[in-house]
Amino acid sequence: MNHRLILPATTRGKLILALFTVVILAGLWPAVLLANHAVLVLGLPALATWSCLIIVASTAVMLIANRLLPLPESIRRTQDQPETAANE
Amino acid sequence: MSDPIPLLMTLAYVAIALWLGIRARGSHRMDSLEQWGVAGRSMGPLVMYLLMGAGSISAYTFMGAPGWAWSKGVPVFYVVIYLSYLALIAWYCGPRVWAFGARLGHVTQAQAVADRFESPLLGALTSLVMSIGALAYAVLQTIGAAYILEVMSGGLLPFALNIWLVLGTIAIYLFISGQRAIGVTNAFQGGLMLVVAWTIGLWAAHRMTGDWWFGGVFERLRETHVDFLTLPGGLGDMSFAFWTSSIIVSMFSFQQPVWLQWMSADSAQSIRRSASWLPTYYFVILPMVVVGFIGIFSLPHLERADTVALQLAFQQMPPVLVGLLGAGTLAAAMSSSEPYIHGTALTWTRDVIRPLFKLSERRTGQLARYLIFPIMLLIVGPVAMLNPGNLIMILLVGLGFAAQMLPAFIGLFVWPRATRAGVLCGLTVGFIVTALFTLVWPNPFGVHAGAWGLIVNLPLFVLVSRVTRPASDATLDRFMPIVAPGRPTSRATGERKPTSSSAMT
């Protein structure tokens, strides 16, 4: 059995993982320092606008991922091939 | 009570939720885990979007978030960020969890853990550990709901009575329709909350500044309370360390109801679609936060910060808007309380009672429905009536504990080498560290106690997993086609499991 960590094997998978990581890091220290200023952007505090941008970015990367990485058949069609769990 | 409209609107909401919840059953029999537990895996993307959105938006959005804005300022936005990240987790894990259900017959998350690690003990522990925070959360939301009814009735409906009114309503539709009721009522509650939050927020901003946007509120805030616009906030207690560790701990706490939501989808694709758009739902928090900021000027001397939105409504808004806010807040509280009660009943029956007493699948399904009554009568109701001051503490400990289950989920989704012994060792030590750093030495160096638990838990989990025996190939062979389709099953030969797709995400 292959026990190695499960990581993306394709270039598209790696790209999506990188995008997800960037979006997550954007909400954490130290990236959040970029927005930690008492200025208003679009009428909102910079940190609030930053949070709204993270909402948009999260949605955007998932929509991109949906295009680049369609769900594998083995997940989409699992309902057709039920097994019995070992602990049943 | 000067005007009956707010109370009538709030009670009308309760009646509608009850009606929808009861009707949600349709012609389905509810004595199986598949139906009562996960709605026969029948929910489409739109219902899933509202279900996941409303389930994660609690009374906190209508009471706590404005309260945080009123007392601390922008630190409140950490909630928006971690909720968006939960959607990323849902996008990746949700379809796989759904496939566990469809292919392996799982319903609860503890069932998946028990199966993956070949350990009913670990499954039962998962169930019990996750239910500590879940029950504390259900109690908190019930208290919030009872408080709303008390305020809306001007004290006419006493707090204790309201607790049983709320729990009684939930019990009726939960018993009759199970997860179908949660789906339908949460979809209704989710839509209602969106309308209420934006109506209240924009109306309050317009009344204060004359504009239909929030810029004027924040311009005034910048002149008078500039420290509210940056971290660490008005109270100076949201350091960067606490901000970051709170987001990390919150986004990795796989709550039982969230798992059941994923299981309830009609397809893996529906989860992806709804998760992709889910972050947009969290814009609902913005207008309510603005109401809290407006309260800084209108209500500078509040005793309890989390009453700011309600107080502002009663002082400045027409009765219809007050009623809308009451209904919206009650919807937020009930939509969060009911899935946690349902999830706890389900997992206790499936993962603790069933293995202990060797119950059949059918008997387990019947028992789960009835277990909501003792949970409400003996735990949620009495604890809510006591209204303990340290309940937030219990909740924080519970969530910190829940985060300590992360190694089990790492083992499920990304690391086949993870072992039962590794998870158990990490969980035990992480549990102790989280308890110590919550109760004895709260959040050392400004880092969330649950994060400290994980700092010790994760290396121990990896270390012990490396030196103990992994799950059998037969077990991993059942999980790998779901979590890693197309991945070579043998490291040495590169042999591949025959799957219909080689795309590996």
DSSP string, B356-371: HHT--HHHHHHHHHHH
pLDDT, average across residues A41-48 = 95
B478–A86 CB contact, under 8 Å: yes
| Closest-CA residue of chain A to B78 | A51
Instruction: Considering only the beta carbons, identify the residue of A8, A73, A88 that sits closest to B504.
Output: A8
Residues of B whose CB is below 8 A from A44: 214-215, 218, 286
Residues of A whose CB is below 8 A from B118: 86-87
Q: Using CA atoms, how far apart are residues A14 and B505, in angstroms rounded to an integer?
A: 8
- The Cβ of residue B12 has, within 10 Å, a number of other Cβ atoms equal to 12
In this prediction, residue B497 carries a pLDDT of 47
- List domains and CATH numbers for chain B: 5-403 (1.20.1730.10)
| Alpha carbon separation from B320 to A61, B4, B307 (Å, rounded) | 40, 10, 19
In this prediction, residue B496 carries a pLDDT of 46
Q: Using CA atoms, how far apart are residues B247 and B456, in angstroms rounded to an integer?
A: 18
Q: Using CA atoms, how far apart are residues B181 and B24, in angstroms rounded to an integer?
A: 5
**8 A C-beta contact, residue B372 and residue B341:** yes
- For residue B447, give how far its alpha carbon lies from the nearest alpha carbon of chain A (Å): 12
- 3-class DSSP state for residue A41? strand
B84–A82 CB contact, under 8 Å: no
pLDDT (tens, 9 = 90+) of chain B, 505 residues, equals 578 899 999 999 889 999 999 999 988 888 888 889 888 888 999 999 988 988 787 777 788 889 989 999 999 999 999 999 999 999 999 999 999 999 998 999 999 999 999 999 999 999 998 898 889 889 988 998 998 899 888 889 999 999 999 999 999 999 999 999 998 888 888 888 889 899 999 999 999 999 999 999 999 999 999 999 999 988 888 899 989 988 988 888 788 889 999 999 999 999 999 999 999 999 999 999 999 999 999 998 888 888 899 889 888 889 998 998 888 888 888 888 899 999 999 999 999 999 999 999 889 988 999 999 999 999 999 999 987 665 556 666 677 778 888 999 999 999 999 999 999 999 999 989 988 988 888 888 888 888 999 999 999 999 999 999 999 999 999 998 898 887 776 655 444 444 433 333 4
Query: Which two structure tokens, joined as six digits, stand for B72?
Result: 């601390």
A69–B503 CB contact, under 8 Å: yes
- For residue B302, give how far its alpha carbon lies from the nearest alpha carbon of chain A (Å): 24
Give me the total of CB pairs closer than 8 Å, taking one residue from chain A and one from chain B.
Answer: 222
Instruction: Considering only the beta carbons, identify the residue of A6, A24, A36 that sits closest to B85.
Output: A24
B38, B72, B74, B117, best to mutate vs chain A, most A CBs in 10 Å? B74
- For residue B168, give how far its alpha carbon lies from the nearest alpha carbon of chain A (Å): 34
Q: How confident is the model at residue A15 (pLDDT cuts 50, 70, 90)?
A: very high
A85–B473 CB contact, under 8 Å: no
B95–A71 CB contact, under 8 Å: yes
In this prediction, residue B498 carries a pLDDT of 42
A75, A76, A80, best to mutate vs chain B, most B CBs in 10 Å? A75
| Closest-CA residue of chain B to A19 | B88
- Does residue A85 have a pLDDT over 60? no
B88–A4 CB contact, under 8 Å: no
| Closest-CA residue of chain A to B229 | A38
| Closest-CA residue of chain A to B110 | A87
**8 A C-beta contact, residue B447 and residue B397:** no
Residues of B whose CB is below 8 A from A51: 77, 80-81
Strand partners, B43: B265
Q: Using CA atoms, how far apart are residues B197 and B54, in angstroms rounded to an integer?
A: 13
| Closest-CA residue of chain A to B214 | A43
Kindly list the domain boundaries of chain A, sorted by start residue: 35-68
Residues of B whose CB is below 8 A from A67: none
A28 touches chain B (CB under 8 A): yes
A32–B244 CB contact, under 8 Å: yes
Is residue A86 classed exposed, middle or buried when 0-12, 13-18 and 19+ CB atoms within 10 A define those classes?
Answer: middle
Instruction: Considering only the beta carbons, identify the residue of A52, A63, A75 that sits closest to B96.
Output: A75
A59–B88 CB contact, under 8 Å: no
Instruction: Considering only the beta carbons, identify the residue of A5, A37, A75 that sits closest to B485.
Output: A75
Residues of A whose CB is below 8 A from B219: 40
Residues of B whose CB is below 8 A from A38: 222, 226, 229-230
| Alpha carbon separation from B225 to B179, B215, B266 (Å, rounded) | 45, 15, 49
B214–A54 CB contact, under 8 Å: no
A78, A81, A88, best to mutate vs chain B, most B CBs in 10 Å? A78
Verify cis geometry, omega within 30 degrees of 0, for the bond prior to A30: yes
A9–B504 CB contact, under 8 Å: yes
Residues of A whose CB is below 8 A from B465: none
Question: Which of B369, B394, B328 has the alpha carbon at shortest distance from B144?
Answer: B328
A46 touches chain B (CB under 8 A): yes
For residue B108, the number of C-alpha atoms closer than 13 Å in the C-beta half-sphere is: 35
